């Protein structure tokens, strides 16, 4: 099974690193972004409001990161979902996140 790490950036600030857990795929995270949009629409928010909420949340996370304040795991997950929602809504591009295949062999130090 392929394991990925997602490095998320917002306004040129590295806001988090998210490891895709066993049993999940990258497509599951795209689906989570879609689910965030659908939940907003079910709560009678229009697309502009959803975009504004996602961007506001990501701005808050980046400010917390700049000020070296605590960011909770649930906030990190919501930040990833917000980024994927913004990608779906064409407000953010996939080029602005860095997805790396995690390879355990490359993580080991060589002993020469």
Token pair belonging to 105: 């062999």
pLDDT at 52: 98
67 found inside a domain: yes
Reported confidence tier of residue 103, pLDDT bands at 50, 70, 90: low
The pLDDT tens digits of the residues spanning 41-67 come to 999 999 999 999 999 999 999 999 999
Exposed, middle or buried, 110 (CB in 10 Å: 0-12/13-18/19+)? Answer: exposed
90 found inside a domain: yes
pLDDT at 75: 93
As a whole number of angstroms, the distance between CA 17 and CA 60 comes to: 17
Our count of domains for the chain comes to 1
64 found inside a domain: yes
65 found inside a domain: yes
Tokens 């080029």 locate to 95
2 or 37, greater pLDDT = 37
The pLDDT tens digits of the residues spanning 8-45 come to 888 888 888 888 877 788 888 899 999 999 999 999 99
Token pair belonging to 25: 């795929």
Q: What is the span of the domain harbouring residue 27?
A: 3-103
The DSSP string of 52-92 is: HHHHHHHHHHHHHHHTT----HHHHHHHHHHHHHHHHTTSS
Residue 93 has pLDDT above 60, yes or no: yes
């Amino acid at each position: 099974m392929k394991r990925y790490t997602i490095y998320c950036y917002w306004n040129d600030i590295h806001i988090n690193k998210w490891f895709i857990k066993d049993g999940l795929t990258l497509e599951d995270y795209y689906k989570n972004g879609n689910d965030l949009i659908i939940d907003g629409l079910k709560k009678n928010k229009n697309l502009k409001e959803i975009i504004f909420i996602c961007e506001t949340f990501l701005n808050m996370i980046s400010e917390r990161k700049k000020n070296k304040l605590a960011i909770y795991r649930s906030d990190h997950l919501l930040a990833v979902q917000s980024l994927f929602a913004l990608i779906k809504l064409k407000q953010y591009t996939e080029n602005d996140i860095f997805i790396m295949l995690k390879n355990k062999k490359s993580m080991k130090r060589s002993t020469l």
